[in-house]
Amino acid sequence: MQRRDDRSPRALRAGSVSEAERIEGAAVFLDRDGTLIADRGPLLSPAALELLPGVPDALRRLAGVGYRLIVVTNQSAVGRGLLDLAGLERIHTALRDALAAEGAAIDGLYFCPDAPGPLGEPESPTGRRKPGTGMLVEAARDHALDLGRCFMIGDQARDTRAGQRAGCRASILLRTGQGESFAGCTNDFDLVCDDLPAAADWILAAGR
């Protein structure tokens, strides 16, 4: 097997990492709206999907050093009756297609259709809706992840809180999407980055 240190920058950029070279048990969890794609309210049609600048390249770079990429997204539009599961699937197919067109891919996508809790709590009774940890725990089981080696990236405190509660190595708030309004909630995240490319830079610099 080729040693990691011998791989060329070109190979890293291209994300051409074999299964054997994966960082064992490590993933980057990614919120969807405001993190990967523009957040203009509930996304109800694939036609309105728009990748944020630099996202495919950031994902390629993270995958290139061996991180699995797992999307974890609250989709209360389903629970509130604005969108059915077939419509959500069409949007997620469009997301994968848009990434593939730029040479990027995700390894898993978990969504929570629950509306917020009955008393207005951000969580839902199932524990899956962020800041609940359910989707991260499911992904850890499905992909044999060590949550302590994983990172969580999102644009809201509920994203980073989920990462903290799940025991992730670091939970990163982005200033994209709605992130600016949460940047003062300093107990809810470990660091703030301007956007996903900046967060990828930080993770890559942090090393294993």
**Cα–Cα distance measured from residue 10 to residue 156, given in angstroms and rounded to the nearest whole number:** 34
Closest distance between Mg ion and the C-beta of residue 35, in Å?
5
Find the binder of Mg ion among 31, 114, 188, 195 (CB under 5 A). 31
- Residues 159-178 contacting Mg ion, CB under 5 A: 177
Q: According to the binding rule CB under 5 A, does residue 114 interact with Mg ion?
A: no
> In this complex, which beta carbon is closest to Mg ion, that of residue 123 or of residue 155?
155
CA-wise closest residue to 43 among 76, 5, 9, 7: 76
> In this complex, which beta carbon is closest to Mg ion, that of residue 114 or of residue 155?
155
Kindly write down the DSSP assignment for every residue of 112-160, as one continuous string.
E-PPPPTTS-SS-TTS-STTS-HHHHHHHHHTT--GGG-EEEESSHHHH
Decide the pairing of beta strands 151-154 and 27-30: parallel
- Residues 115-134 contacting Mg ion, CB under 5 A: none
Residue that has been written with the tokens 């209360």 in this structure = 76
Contact assessment for residue 71 and residue 112, using Cβ atoms and an 8 Å cutoff: no
Residue that has been written with the tokens 């956007």 in this structure = 195
* Catalytic annotation, pick one of 5, 33, 39, 146: 33
> In this complex, which beta carbon is closest to Mg ion, that of residue 42 or of residue 117?
42
Return phi, psi of residue 67, to 5°. -80, 135
Closest distance between Mg ion and the C-beta of residue 105, in Å?
20
Count of residues of this chain found to bind Mg ion when the rule CB under 5 A is applied = 5
Q: According to the binding rule CB under 5 A, does residue 34 interact with Mg ion?
A: yes
* Catalytic annotation, pick one of 5, 6, 31, 146: 31
Contact assessment for residue 133 and residue 165, using Cβ atoms and an 8 Å cutoff: yes
Site track 10-29 with Mg ion (rule: CB under 5 A), x = hit: --------------------
Q: Is 33 one of the catalytic residues?
A: yes
Q: According to the binding rule CB under 5 A, does residue 33 interact with Mg ion?
A: yes
Question: What are the residues binding Mg ion (CB under 5 A)?
Answer: 31, 33-34, 155, 177
Task: Give the residue numbers annotated as catalytic, written as ranges.
Answer: 31, 33
